């Protein structure tokens, strides 16, 4: 489908309200040039049914997808699960990661995600040495996103320590650039490389952009964080894991006398460009600080439930002034509707009350606030916004009878029909279409891509214990 297309939506959900008969025109740059409401379909329009604005996956670790269905019988907690994650990380190469990321991004796209923030720290070879090709792992992710047709914000991550005042473990060395200066220098070179690559593709909409991340207060020393905050351009979106685990808070209080949020506040890091991920275990003062400073909170309900992390104070944060975005994190589940429902259901379980977030607020978290957190603008479907759309079947076995303004509480990824990114149809009813499917030389099915990628990675036989056939577990940290 060429750029410059015009779409007519039978119904378009705008700010949670269904607007009938909406025509949207996309320019060659992949952005909206015109929107007209309440008009009939015309010859030449591409006709869509019920349409949502594009949905953002604000926090993803694509390689964690290799663990889906492999660790759920082992018990333990986040710290046990992390050992399995490290094992997969050590098995990845740029070639393997290209295949896996391509498949994971394809699954995201057909599930309704039009943009993804990839929190990326697999920078080097397993021992920590750079790859012969500069930015090999980062370019694998960028290539995968372009081939599939999803917007990618590469949140290149600084990861320098194994814990507060603790050196890196051997399996973490591949994540580190050695120092804040080393990370900043590599980040700047990567930006130049991605900019040059985009300039070499003037006929294509720009799908890949570069953001930044600090892994966590436990993995980046305070002085290194200070140096990175001073060295990053002010317009670059910045993300950080925050207070996902009680242990992280306890270690931070013991070392610094304040919570992780307090550390960031002392560094002057709490600004609207910052997104904190998880924010599960916060004090009342933490909530106030984050909200007062307009910091976005990226919550990942499926992962927080799967790993037993807990239920974060989403409603309190939103009321305090923090926008809430949503992510799939470990990708044990890839379904934007389950994430937004998980946000509301967690609130219901914690409070005993229904309707903690309205359907319109949930859609805003899944879409516009996620786009903003990734530096992609507000995505309100006005001229100048990304021409990103998701068509949802409003009469499936799951959605029939639902009011359109509550459709997001009934639908699942299975109900996603056509997905439009940068003005082009890139997926239809669970399959890639057009140039994406052709470029991948498969049948357009993410399942076929994933089977191919996992066969190439072979994480299960190569990394599992010879005695039990399962990934090795480790004791929780003290």
CATH, residue 414 = 2.30.40.10
Q: Cα–Cα distance between 3 and 113 in angstroms, integer?
A: 19
- Residues 38, 144, single domain; the answer is no
Specify if 330 maps to a domain.
Answer: yes
Based on the domain organization, do 189 and 316 belong to the same domain?
Answer: yes
470 domain-assigned: no
Which of the four pLDDT bands, split at 50, 70 and 90, describes residue 444?
A: low
Task: Name which residue leads in pLDDT, 474 or 70.
Answer: 70
pLDDT, tens only, 135-181:
999 999 999 999 999 999 999 999 999 999 999 999 999 999 999 99
Range list of β-strands (E), 339-380: none
Say yes or no to pLDDT of 280 above 60: yes
Structure-token pair, residue 375 = 């530096």
Confidence of residue 436 (pLDDT cuts 50, 70, 90): confident
Segments forming the whole domain that contains residue 398: 1-53+380-429
Residues 46 and 99 in one domain: no
Note whether 110 and 427 are within 8 A (CB): yes
User: Does any domain span residue 463?
Assistant: no
Of residues 459 and 49, which shows the higher confidence score? 49
Instruction: Give the pLDDT of residue 441.
Output: 59
Residues noted as catalytic: 278, 329
Strands across the sheet with 238-242, in order?
A: 55-60, 113-120, 151-158, 208-214, 238-242, 274-278, 296-299, 324-326
For residue 386, the cross-strand partners are 31
Written as six digits, the tokens of 475 are 């004791």
Assess if residue 466 is contained within a domain.
no
Residue 181 DSSP SS3: helix
Under the banding of pLDDT at 50, 70 and 90, the label for residue 465 is: very low
**What would you measure as the largest C-alpha separation in the chain, in angstroms?**
67
Asked whether residue 87 is domain-assigned, the answer is yes
Do the Cβ atoms of 356 and 397 come closer than 8 Å?
no
Can you tell me the mean pLDDT for 399-423?
A: 97
Q: Domain check: are 6 and 84 in the same one?
A: no
Range in 2-11, 15-24, 436-445 the model is least confident about: 436-445
Do 26 and 120 have their domain in common? no
CB 257, CB 193: distance < 8 Å: no
- What is the reported pTM? 0.93
pLDDT for the residue numbered 243: 98
pLDDT the model gives residue 84: 87
On whether residue 165 sits in a domain, the answer given is yes
Structure tokens at 38: 């309440």
* pLDDT above 70: residue 461: no
What is the number of other CB atoms lying within 10 angstroms of the CB of residue 192? 12
Task: From 409, 429, 449, give the residue that closes a domain.
Answer: 429
The domain tally of the chain equals 2
Q: Let me know how long the chain is.
A: 478
Q: How far apart are CA 204 and CA 202, in angstroms?
A: 6
| CATH number of residue 334's parent domain | 3.20.20.140
For residue 81, the model assigns a pLDDT of 85
Higher pLDDT among residues 452 and 393, named by residue: 393
Q: Higher confidence at residue 25 or residue 461?
A: 25
In which band, very low, low, confident or very high, does the pLDDT at 386 lie, cut at 50, 70 and 90?
Answer: very high
Sheet holding 416-421, edge to edge: 32-36, 17-26, 6-14, 46-53, 389-392, 416-421, 424-428, 431-432
Residue 281's pLDDT band, with cuts at 50, 70 and 90, is: very high
Window from 7-11, 102-106, 180-184, 318-322 with minimum mean pLDDT: 102-106
Predicted confidence (pLDDT) at residue 38 exceeds the cutoff of 50: yes
DSSP state of 69: T
Section 80-101 average pLDDT:
91
Q: Is the pLDDT of residue 439 over 90?
A: no
Q: Is residue 156 part of a domain?
A: yes
Mark whether 420 and 328 lie in a shared domain: no
User: 334 with 288, same domain?
Assistant: yes
* pLDDT-derived band at 458, boundaries 50, 70, 90: low
Residues 128, 263, single domain; the answer is: yes
Say what the pLDDT of residue 399 is. Answer: 98
User: Do 397 and 354 share a domain, yes or no?
Assistant: no
Average pLDDT over residues 351-378: 97
User: What pLDDT, in 10s, does the model give residues 300-344?
Assistant: 999 999 999 999 999 999 999 999 999 999 999 999 999 999 999
User: What contacts 126, CB < 8 A, 6 or more positions away?
Assistant: 90, 171, 173, 174
pLDDT tens-digit series, residues 70-81: 888 878 888 888
62 with 16, same domain: the answer is no
Q: Dihedral through CA 316, CA 254, CA 169, CA 329, nearest 10? A: 0
Structure tokens of 318? 């939103």
Q: pLDDT confidence of 1, banded at 50, 70, 90?
A: very low
* Adjacent-strand bridge partners of 391: 51
On whether both 42 and 65 belong to a single domain, the answer is no
Q: Which residues contact 376 (CB under 8 A, 6 or more apart)?
A: 56, 115, 151, 153, 209, 386
Q: Do the beta carbons of residue 87 and residue 139 sit within 8 Å?
A: no
CB 330 within 8 A of CB 64: yes
Mean pLDDT confidence for 182-201? 96
Residue 300 shares a structural domain with residue 412: no
Which pair of structure tokens corresponds to residue 310? 């807990």
Q: Which two tokens stand for residue 320?
A: 């305090």
Q: Is the pLDDT of residue 227 over 90?
A: yes
Q: Is residue 218 part of a domain?
A: yes
Q: Percent helix, strand, coil in the chain (nearest 5)?
A: 40, 20, 40
Q: What is the structure's pLDDT at 464?
A: 39
């Amino acid at each position: 489908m060429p750029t410059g297309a015009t779409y007519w939506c039978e119904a378009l959900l705008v700010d949670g309200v269904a607007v009938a008969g909406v025509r949207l025109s996309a320019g060659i740059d992949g952005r909206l040039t015109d929107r007209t409401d309440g008009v009939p379909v015309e010859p030449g329009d591409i006709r869509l049914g019920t349409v949502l604005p594009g949905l953002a996956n604000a926090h993803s670790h694509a390689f964690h997808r290799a663990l889906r269905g492999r660790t759920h019988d082992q018990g333990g907690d986040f710290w046990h699960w992390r050992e399995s994650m490290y094992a997969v990380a050590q098995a990845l190469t740029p070639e393997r990661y290209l295949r896996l990321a391509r498949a994971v991004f394809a699954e995201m796209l057909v599930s309704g995600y039009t943009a993804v923030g990839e929190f990326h720290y697999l920078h080097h070879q397993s021992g920590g040495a750079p790859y012969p090709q500069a930015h090999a792992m980062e370019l694998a992710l960028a290539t995968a996103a372009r081939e599939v047709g999803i917007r990618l914000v590469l949140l290149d991550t600084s990861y320098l320590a194994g814990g507060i005042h603790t050196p890196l473990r051997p399996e973490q060395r591949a994540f580190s650039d050695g120092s804040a200066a080393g990370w900043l220098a590599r980040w700047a070179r990567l930006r130049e490389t991605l900019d040059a690559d985009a300039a070499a593709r003037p006929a294509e909409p720009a799908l890949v952009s570069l953001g930044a991340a600090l892994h966590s207060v436990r993995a980046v020393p305070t002085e290194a964080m200070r140096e990175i905050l001073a060295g990053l351009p002010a317009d670059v979106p910045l993300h950080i894991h925050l207070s996902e685990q009680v242990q992280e808070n306890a270690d931070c209080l013991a070392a610094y006398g304040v919570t992780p949020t307090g550390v960031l506040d002392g560094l002057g890091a709490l600004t609207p460009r910052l997104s904190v991920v998880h924010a599960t275990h916060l004090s009342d003062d933490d909530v106030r600080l984050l909200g007062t400073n307009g910091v976005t909170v990226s919550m990942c309900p499926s992962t927080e439930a799967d790993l037993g992390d807990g239920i974060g104070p989403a409603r309190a944060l939103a009321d305090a002034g923090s926008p809430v975005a949503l992510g799939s994190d470990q990708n044990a589940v890839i379904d934007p509707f389950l994430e937004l429902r998980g946000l509301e259901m967690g609130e219901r379980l914690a409070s005993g009350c229904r309707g903690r977030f309205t359907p319109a607020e949930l859609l805003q978290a899944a879409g516009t606030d996620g786009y903003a957190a990734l530096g992609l603008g507000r995505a309100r479907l006005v001229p100048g916004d990304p021409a990103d759309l998701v068509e949802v079947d409003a009469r499936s076995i799951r959605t029939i009878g639902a009011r359109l303004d509550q459709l997001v509480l009934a639908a699942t990824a299975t109900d996603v029909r056509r997905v439009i990114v940068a003005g082009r149809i890139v997926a239809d009813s669970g399959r890639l279409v057009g140039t994406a499917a052709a470029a991948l030389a498969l049948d357009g099915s993410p399942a076929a891509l994933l089977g191919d990628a996992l066969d190439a990675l072979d994480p299960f036989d190569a990394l599992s214990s010879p005695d039990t056939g399962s990934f090795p577990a480790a004791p929780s940290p003290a």
